[in-house]
Structure 1
Amino acid sequence: MGIQLSLLVTVVILLAGWVSGVLPFLKFIFGVILPYVALAVFAIGLVIRVLRWARSPVPFRITTTCGQEKSLPWIKQNKLDNPSSALGTLGRMALEVLFFRSLFRNTKASLKDDRLVYSVDKWLWFFSLAFHWSFLIIFLRHFRFFTEPIPFFVGFLQDIDGFFQVGLPIIYITDVAILVALTYLFLRRIFNAKVRIVSL
């Protein structure tokens, strides 16, 4: 039933687009009104989801800090791992958002000779960082399509990103990086049994 309904909705949307192209009075509805309605539905739905999530009870806090918290004066606090000030929180959040600091400490547990062994696993951190930074640069590069005048950094990013230009079309470094990173992350979801259970 699910695939038939999806196919029916797709056919209806295609027919509606075709009819709107044929009948001139529908062009305004499908070209102006419908996109704004879709954007409004998306924005309202997003706000409702966030509010519903914010109201849901949290039974306990999951601590993600690793350092010594602020306690007695003679015990040195780790101000970046366990901040107690706004500046420390800003620094920790910047490192987390920009460099995935907690993911960098990722370890992999496995059984070897009936012993639990922990090993360093930096691949997830590396490819996640490559994906997100590439996505950010690609997003910023696309400002040239939506802004007038084009911001100054767009040309700079485009020149740096296309530094290894070989022929036409231009192959950007971030295009290759995001493709490789997505391939790794996708294959990890498929072949890693622990992640596959959560994903599928």
Structure 2
Amino acid sequence: MKHTFPLIAVIALALIAWIGSAIPGMQYLFGVAVPYAALLLFISGFCWRVLYWAKSPVPFRIPTTCGQGYSMPWVKRDKFEAPVSTGEVLGRMFMEIVFFRSLWRNTKASIKPGPELTYSATRWLWLFGILFHYSMLVILLRHFRLFVGSELFFVSALEYLDGFTLNPTPELSLYVTDALILVGLLALLARRFLIKTVNYISLANDYFPLFLLIGIALTGILMRYFLRSGMDIVAIKQLAVGLTTFHPVINPNIASVFYVHLFLVSCLLAYFPFSKLMHMGGVFLSPTRNLANDSRMRRHINPWNPDIRPHSYASYEDEFRADMIEQGIPVEKELPQG
């Protein structure tokens, strides 16, 4: 049931928006009130989580290393996998955030007849992760044209690079990322179903964001390619610009599927700071990634340790001599007579 309940929850959220937006007067709730509340919760929750992590003490240097560390000058070392300077750490973080370097190095252990323990690369996971994350980034950037009054140059360039014309309707472009994001999400979902070890450790909060993202992608594709004739793009852009300028205008011509799409996006924003999706902000604060591997080069003193006064054995025995003698523990000095 750990995957059934999240699916039912996403379907229920979509039905709530579909039915609710059809009720006269409820369009303001789903088109204005809910998005504002979700955005406020997203920003405040995101900042709270990041500040909470930033204040957490990191008393030890615990960078993850998987390459030759710094030793003798003539020994070739791996600067990305065992960085010892700030510049090398920044390079490692760049490779991790932009190219998912650690996911590229991910391996799978399996036991073959013999028995023989073998390791193999799982680069397909890196590929589908890249497809999903970069497709979502491009889609988010493309959506900027809905929130500004004029076209932005980089948005127009992205649309040109991302899309190609469908015949016989040259005015309708098919965006590659609309297909790639679904491929990436479905592959990541199939991984949790088909791989027994991953399925075993997966929880409901692993499936819910996947189903929610798939729902957002499907409703967006429906509006773009299948229900386009019934969509009032001008009214939608008027509402989006109004939300940005805090003067939202609800047009009765907006179809219910748009409110379903917007409501699912709002649910994702509200859920984001309290889920595993916060790895987007947490990766910058991970001590396994953002610390230099220089424990052997300089001494790190924990600043949170309290000052401890020296306590010699002689003073310890003076304090507990009577109890030690009573328990039969040898002492260097006997109790004074009388």
TM-score by length of 1: 0.74
1:189 is displaced (CA, Å) by 0.8
Instruction: Please give the per-residue CA displacement for 1:12-68, whole angstroms capped at 9, x wherever unaligned.
Output: xx779957559xxxx6x9976775454334433333344445566779776432222
1:145 is displaced (CA, Å) by 0.8
How far, CA to CA, are the matches of 1:16 and 1:131 in structure 2?
Answer: 30
Q: 1:74 is matched with which residue? A: 74
1:162 is displaced (CA, Å) by 0.8
How far, CA to CA, are the matches of 2:194 and 2:61 in structure 1?
Answer: 31
How far, CA to CA, are the matches of 1:121 and 1:38 in structure 2?
Answer: 36
Q: 2:154 is matched with which residue? A: 153
1:165–1:172 CA contact under 8 A, matched in 2: no
Q: 1:179 is matched with which residue? A: 182
Structure 1, gaps ≥5 residues long? none
1:74 is displaced (CA, Å) by 3.0
1:84 is displaced (CA, Å) by 2.1
Q: 2:242 is matched with which residue? A: none
1:196 maps to a residue whose letter is: N
When residues 166 and 122 of structure 1 are mapped into structure 2, their CA distance, relative to the original with a 3 A threshold, is farther
Indicate yes or no: 2:157 matched with 1:141.
no
How far, CA to CA, are the matches of 2:152 and 2:48 in structure 1?
Answer: 33
1:190 maps to a residue whose letter is: F
SS at match of 2:137: helix
When residues 41 and 118 of structure 1 are mapped into structure 2, their CA distance, relative to the original with a 3 A threshold, is closer
How far, CA to CA, are the matches of 2:191 and 2:58 in structure 1?
Answer: 30
When residues 69 and 197 of structure 1 are mapped into structure 2, their CA distance, relative to the original with a 3 A threshold, is same
How far, CA to CA, are the matches of 1:46 and 1:199 in structure 2?
Answer: 24
SS at match of 1:77: coil
How far, CA to CA, are the matches of 2:61 and 2:190 in structure 1?
Answer: 32
How far, CA to CA, are the matches of 2:142 and 2:132 in structure 1?
Answer: 15
State the structure with more CA Rg: 2
Number of residue-to-residue matches in the alignment: 187
How far, CA to CA, are the matches of 1:166 and 1:81 in structure 2?
Answer: 49
When residues 16 and 53 of structure 1 are mapped into structure 2, their CA distance, relative to the original with a 3 A threshold, is farther
1:178 maps to a residue whose letter is: I
Structure 2, gaps ≥5 residues long? 204-338
How far, CA to CA, are the matches of 2:33 and 2:166 in structure 1?
Answer: 41
